[in-house]
Amino acid sequence: MVLNKIDLCRDVAPYLREVAGIAPGVAVHPVSARQRAGLAALGNYLARGQTAAFLGPSGVGKSALINALLGAEKQATGEVREDDRTGRHTTTRRELILLPGGGMVIDTPGMREIQLWAGEEGLEETFPEIEALAEQCRFSDCRHHAETGCAVRAAIARRELDPARLDSFRKLQGELMYLASREEQSARQYEKLKWKKIAKSVKELKKRPDKPL
């Protein structure tokens, strides 16, 4: 997780704590593309032969960070609008850029949403504290809403678990369920199409008794 534009913030610590609460265990790097501060930490992800991509909304400074890593103003950058504090799409296409140290970075257009593509294992790794608490719930299929004996909600009541973490867990869980249903639907459609082709081939062969099956 990269927090850019720390030169515009007097105290970065509260934001670091906020991010740590949302994504515990994830490395957070405060940087300033304008002042070339904190960039050494990003270099660890961009060693020779490694490729990384900057993802985030318009205006967060992805292109500016790449320019700072390059040491040259190669990528177009733009200012954030003062009226709504959002940025303009200065990057209009994906581009693979070779850095001086041998690593490569992909500059992408601003994204409003990034969808997941992972299984239940990924969810468990992202929310280990919720998974640990869920094992203590009274019911194995507890959804952590209003069920009796829910250890997750009990931890929230004791202020041992941030409610925002449970909200994020539910949101990502719902997205994974949606993706799984789409994948299952695609598999059914594939099987249906496959057997339709087989049936058509058999039908054509029956019309030609001289050709062996």
Give, in order, the Cα–Cα distances in Å from 68 to each of 10, 43, 63, 144, 153: 22, 11, 9, 45, 45
Burial class (CB in 10 A: 0-12, 13-18, 19+), 152: buried
pTM: 0.52
- Rounded CA separation 196/137 (Å): 47
Q: What does the pLDDT read at residue 188?
A: 78
Q: What does the pLDDT read at residue 127?
A: 85
Q: What does the pLDDT read at residue 93?
A: 63
What domains can be seen in the chain, in order of their start residue?
2-80+88-107 (3.40.50.300), 120-185 (1.10.40.50)
Q: What does the pLDDT read at residue 82?
A: 47
- At 161 the three-state DSSP class reads coil
- Rounded CA separation 110/64 (Å): 13
Per residue of the chain (213 residues), give pLDDT as tens: 899 999 998 899 999 888 887 777 788 999 998 888 888 888 888 888 888 888 887 778 888 888 888 875 655 554 544 454 444 445 456 678 888 888 888 877 655 455 555 556 667 777 888 989 999 999 988 989 888 999 999 999 999 998 988 998 888 888 877 777 777 777 777 788 878 878 777 777 777 666 555
Q: What does the pLDDT read at residue 86?
A: 44
- Rounded CA separation 85/87 (Å): 7
Cα 107 off chain centre by: 16
- Rounded CA separation 179/195 (Å): 25
- At 163 the three-state DSSP class reads helix
